[in-house]
A and B are shown apart, each in its own frame.
Chain A
Amino acid sequence: MSLVLDNLVKRFGATTALDGISFSVEQGQVFGFLGPNGAGKTTTMRIILDILRPDGGTATWNGTPTTHVPRNTWGYLPEERGLYPRLEVLEQLVFFASLYGIPRREAAARARDWLARFRIPNYERRRAEELSKGNQQKVQLIAAILHEPEVVIMDEPFAGLDPVNVSLLKEAFDEMRQRGTTLIFSTHQMEMVEELCEAVAIIDHGKLVLGGPIRDVKRSSGRRVVRLGVEGDWDLPWLSELEGVTVIRPGQDHVELNVAPGHDPQEVLNAAIARGERVTQFLIADPSIEQVFIERIGRPPSEEGHLAQAGSPSAEATG
């Protein structure tokens, strides 16, 4: 029981959007779909949903080509949010649900329920154009899940939400996951991935860079991260003398170190004790998804969140 993408190719004129992407998502998984802007995430999602047809390769759900899978298998939250501007919220939701075969009365009841759960119960008679962006997004998400699809595909579900709504959405994720719904979403917020995802796929330039269960992905580089805290002076010049060890993040309380593949993180502890330091913290961990991402892609997941290099003419170009 899984979604399998096999060697998907999609070209738009001279541009190759997907260049042989393959990965699979197990049923019931929460799956993170990562990559810089323009990597091909949206195109892949559109192919799964049969909005676009690939030029090569196949997408199957439990062995059936996605072109033949009933559309109510999927729920979709697109990146470009779209509602009928002049239609009332409840009517929109009932319309979308009716496209998936939910009777109107049933759809209205479910919609009211969800609106209440997302804490916008009194918005059902409002027209979409009167809603704030965050609330439109909640309505849009309800539209995607009202028919209780087996798989919910979301393009940047957290973008533009305030912290309160982010936690509402996370709770909704949790509920759906407990019901066995497969959740696939793209995001630039790596802490969300760490918190929610069981598996990820990282793509760039239409190719799969890395994919699999999140633990495997984190350990794929072979390097480990060590957090070391000692009493007194936090400036530890001797660390740079250790072979295979680099400081990632110096700090008052502790430093974060990268230990290259083939080196034992235990050596750091031994070296500290040998130098007479009193160790207050010592922790061996996998690198964060963000670190893996930067390492493999060569730039942070969301460049918008970082200053462009000063004077760099290509600073504005995004992938």
Chain B
Amino acid sequence: MSPSRRSTLRNIVAVARREFVFRGRTRTFRWTTAFLVVVGVALALSPVIIRFFEQGGPGERIEVVVGSSEPTVDVTATLNVLLNASATGSPDANASPDFRVESTTDLDAARTRASDGSTSAVLALSRTGDGDLAFTLYSKDGPLARSSLVIRQAASSIAIQDRLNRAGIPAIDQARLFAPAEFVMEQADPGAPAGAASVEALAGTFAISFALSILLFMAIILYGQWVAFSVAEEKNSRVMEVVLAAATPFQLLSGKVVGVGGLAIVQYVIVLVPSVIAILLQGQIATLVFGGNAGVDLPSGISIGLLGVFGVMFVLGFALYSVLYAGAASLVSRQEDVNQIVAPLTLVSVGGYLVATYSSTGLIPIDSPLVVIMSFIPFFSPYLMLSRLGQGAATPLEVVAAILILVAFIPVALWIAARLYRSGVLLYGQRPTPRTLYRALRGQ
């Protein structure tokens, strides 16, 4: 290794070390990390937590007044089953019900209870002129409230059952009448494994690429801004000139990105590991809390390969954006101006993120030319190649190609940033205009 190479490496390490150690030692860093760990674990356990709070309550009380309608169905019992089934998705013997349905006779007394809140709603039955069941719901909730909607749905079912009973159709046939049709989805490609396009598998991959896009986006924006603020801080305290006399802009920028990036990865791991453990142990925790299988499942669709690509895209995407963030931040003199100067870059990042989430949720077809082309462009590829891969819409070769393009582009970004930096850091009190930018890039 030549002496200049050695000093380059040495200075990058020294700058990175300072960034890593001193930023990591700040109280802000420790508190945000602790806060993010709590948030991460809470999010990971949210299904369990939500169930826990739901089961704690006795459920909403619904009172039924049959009056003189003489229904052919046991309204109270049927309503009880229907309401609680629609609330949890599947009838579950162990879970406590969302609704308690009770029968009563005094409508006026029940309405009073509904208005003072001791009962959630009162459902009164009557008969129309042509003999159909009619329902009136007395409730403080609006017509679009979840409870109003599920009660309305259940009431329709009861009315239909009542009509069928009056028409003399036996109960056993009724069950068959209401049974849902068999509906299977398969991939168009005959070579694809059977069941790959099932609703559960698809929902899984959508959720995973959606979640990974969010994680990547947050990391790039948050940690990129750390780099930007660090540059502005050095410029603001005028320490920049001393450092620049000792190290080249290239060394400084690289060191900053490596140091902050390293700390970012450390924080990311500290936050993600407990969250992932929480996700993996969700079933066990649910069993512990609720006893038996509480119907909390693992997300499907995560693979080692996908996580590996996520890691690579995280590092490369962060490197690309943070290098340019640093170059941009060197043009302003005050920390308050940092957000303004990096805004165009942030918008580019938001663009990639939005297209990625739209394609993850199906708003934009994952194989549309827009998505395919963007998945190779350095600024967007971290987001889009990841969502394409997550949904099985990218070949390994395409992923490697996108990564190589990104890797090749980072030195270009570093060169641009170092140019901006060299002329930017000694500019004080000047508003960066397109002309100053142009001059900076030309090295004037």
Chain A residues with CB under 8 Å of chain B are 11, 13, 46, 49-53, 55, 70-72, 74, 76, 78, 80-87, 91, 95-96, 98-101, 140, 143-144
Asked if B245 and A140 make an inter-chain contact with CB atoms under 8 angstroms apart, the answer reads: no
Which chain B residues numbered 16 to 32 have a C-beta less than 8 Å away from chain A? 17-18, 22
Q: Which of B15, B17, B242, B444 contacts A82 (CB 8 A)?
A: B242
B residues near A50, Cβ cutoff 8 Å: 248
A52 to B243, CA, bound (A): 13
Q: Which of A11, A76, A83, A91 contacts B245 (CB 8 A)?
A: A76
A106 to B57, CA, bound (A): 67
In the complex formed, the residue of B with least CB distance to A143 is: B242
Main secondary structure of the interface of B (DSSP, over half): helix
Is B240 interfacial (CB-CB < 8 Å)?
yes
Asked if B15 and A99 make an inter-chain contact with CB atoms under 8 angstroms apart, the answer reads: yes
| Interface stretch of the complex, out of B3-11, B69-77, B135-143 | B3-11
**Known A46-B426, A55-B444, A99-B15: A82·B246 in contact at CB below 8 Å:** no
B residues near A140, Cβ cutoff 8 Å: 242
Is B431 interfacial (CB-CB < 8 Å)?
no
In the complex formed, the residue of B with least CB distance to A100 is: B246
Asked if B11 and A99 make an inter-chain contact with CB atoms under 8 angstroms apart, the answer reads: yes
Give the distance to chain A from B254, nearest Cβ to Cβ, in Å.
13
Asked if B18 and A49 make an inter-chain contact with CB atoms under 8 angstroms apart, the answer reads: no
A87 to B26, CA, bound (A): 11
A91 to B4, CA, bound (A): 25
Q: Which of B17, B22, B246, B444 contacts A87 (CB 8 A)?
A: B22
A residues near B246, Cβ cutoff 8 Å: 71-72, 76, 96, 99-100
B residues near A70, Cβ cutoff 8 Å: 3-4, 7
Additional 19 contacts, C-beta under 8 A, given A84-B22, A144-B242 = A49-B245, A50-B248, A70-B3, A71-B245, A71-B247, A72-B7, A74-B245, A76-B241, A81-B238, A82-B238, A83-B242, A84-B237, A86-B22, A91-B22, A95-B14, A95-B18, A98-B10, A99-B14, A101-B10
Pairs across A and B, CB under 8 Å, 14 listed: A46-B241, A49-B245, A51-B244, A51-B245, A72-B7, A76-B242, A81-B238, A82-B237, A82-B238, A96-B243, A99-B15, A99-B243, A100-B246, A101-B7
A74 to B245, CA, bound (A): 8
Give the distance to chain B from A57, nearest Cβ to Cβ, in Å.
15
A143 to B239, CA, bound (A): 11
A residues near B241, Cβ cutoff 8 Å: 46, 51, 76, 78, 80, 82
Give the distance to chain A from B320, nearest Cβ to Cβ, in Å.
26
A100 to B242, CA, bound (A): 12
Query: A53, A70, A80 — which one has the most chain B CB atoms within 10 A of its CB?
Result: A80
A residues near B244, Cβ cutoff 8 Å: 49, 51
A76 to B247, CA, bound (A): 12
Is B292 interfacial (CB-CB < 8 Å)?
no
A76 to B18, CA, bound (A): 20
Is B344 interfacial (CB-CB < 8 Å)?
no
A52 to B248, CA, bound (A): 11
A85 to B26, CA, bound (A): 13
**Known A70-B4, A87-B22: A80·B238 in contact at CB below 8 Å:** yes
**Known A76-B245, A78-B242, A87-B22: A53·B443 in contact at CB below 8 Å:** yes
In the complex formed, the residue of B with least CB distance to A67 is: B248
B residues near A100, Cβ cutoff 8 Å: 246
- A interface footprint on B228-240 (CB within 8 Å = 1, 0 otherwise): 0000001001111
Query: B7, B17, B239, B426 — which one has the most chain A CB atoms within 10 A of its CB?
Result: B239
B residues near A46, Cβ cutoff 8 Å: 241, 426
A101 to B243, CA, bound (A): 13
Sorted from nearest, which 7 A-B pairs have the closest CB atoms?
A: A82-B238, A82-B239, A76-B245, A99-B246, A98-B14, A78-B241, A80-B238
In the complex formed, the residue of B with least CB distance to A99 is: B246
A78 to B17, CA, bound (A): 24
A residues near B4, Cβ cutoff 8 Å: 70
A86 to B244, CA, bound (A): 19
A91 to B25, CA, bound (A): 13
Give the distance to chain A from B369, nearest Cβ to Cβ, in Å.
44
A86 to B28, CA, bound (A): 13
Which chain B residues numbered 426 to 440 have a C-beta less than 8 Å away from chain A? 426, 439
A57 to B426, CA, bound (A): 21
A70 to B246, CA, bound (A): 9
A residues near B247, Cβ cutoff 8 Å: 71, 99
Give the distance to chain B from A155, nearest Cβ to Cβ, in Å.
9
